Each structure stands twice: as C-alpha cells, then as structure tokens.
Homo-oligomer: A and B are copies of this chain.
C-alpha cells in the first residue's frame, strides 16, 4: 500500500488555472493543461465512457492507465469536489457527474458537515474535517490494502508532501506557462531528499516526472 499523488502542472509549476468566466466555466488554460491526458484512450474510456477505441496509446496513456489502477481510496480538497462553486447548495453532488471515475471511497476535506453521497460505479463521497494524517488513516482503513491517492488540489497535495506522507509523486508537466494560479512546488525546498526521481517525455511533449521512495 502506498500513498500516491498524480497531478497535472504547467512548466512554471501551476496546478490551477485562473481564466474561468461565466461564459467559459473551465477556462481555456485548463484545456491546454489537461489536453494530453484527456486525449488518451484510457481517459476517453474511463471518464467519458467512450468505447470507440479512439485516443492516444503512447506514454501519456500508460500513465493514464496507471492512474486508474490500484487505488483503494482517495482524499481530495473541497475545491476539487466542487464545494467552493456551490457552497450553500445541499443538493449539489460535485462536478464529477453521476458516475465519477474514482470508483472507491473518496474523503472530501471540508469543515462543512454534509451527509455522504453514494454514486453509481462505486464512488462514495464522505465529507470529513480532519488533519492530513487522520484523513489518511481513515482512507487507509477502507482501501483494502490498495493505494490511497491524494487527489488534489495542489494545496492539499502540498500539505501531504510537507508532512512526509507521500510515497509516490507523479506530475505530468505540460510545456506551457500559465504565469499565475496555485503553485504545486511552493515551500517544498529539499523535497527530493529521500526520493528517487525518474522522468520521461511523452509524444505529446508532456514531461512525466515521478518521485518514488
């Protein structure tokens, strides 16, 4: 069992985008940040339900397949679930659709008290107010010996990295400069100590870097 992170970041280290507008709710930076990932066959099958067999099958797809394998529970911030967008709507079920791609217990870190949500496909969202290490203990307890993923966003990931709780950090670096947003790498001086680093470049130009211990 390992604690894993997989994150998409820009060359200048940003894991969030800043150009969302009411007319363009995801923004165009987000499309560019995730383009290589959403172009993979695995993403199309697993997230979009597209069984046509279209999508890339190279290095990016290998990481996409790995992303969906062996995870028994996930922890994410309130923003990644979507609580910040509809903070006062008790009927809001997050922006991951009726059948979210996680297919495991997901712990959403929030100070809001909300009943759990059981979704199609095996995803069950629980909303908990807990320190990183305590949330990890809860996730580990239900992961059936599989990995626990710290899903995001970058602030939550950084909390886990700083606490020394992450065994494997994979970042897919898009060769674009966003210039603003939340940086993954802030205040992580010396993080590489204790990890082995490995990188490879995908056909798309995405740089996949993995710190493992």
Residues of A within 8 A of B (CB): 11-13, 175-180, 183, 185-192, 197-201, 205, 207, 209, 211
Residue among B12, B192, B201, B205 making CB contact with A176, cutoff 8 Å: B192
What separation, in Å, do the CA atoms of A187 and B180 have in the docked complex?
Answer: 8
* Contact partners of A187 in chain B: CB under 8 A: 179
Q: With A199-B201, A201-B201 in contact, is A209–B179 under 8 Å at CB?
A: no
Which residue in B188, B198, B207 is a CB contact (below 8 Å) of A177?
A: B188
Extra 11 A-B pairs, beta carbons < 8 Å, given A177-B191, A198-B205, A199-B205: A11-B185, A11-B209, A12-B183, A12-B186, A13-B185, A175-B192, A175-B211, A176-B192, A177-B188, A179-B189, A180-B189
A207→B173 CA distance, assembly (Å): 11
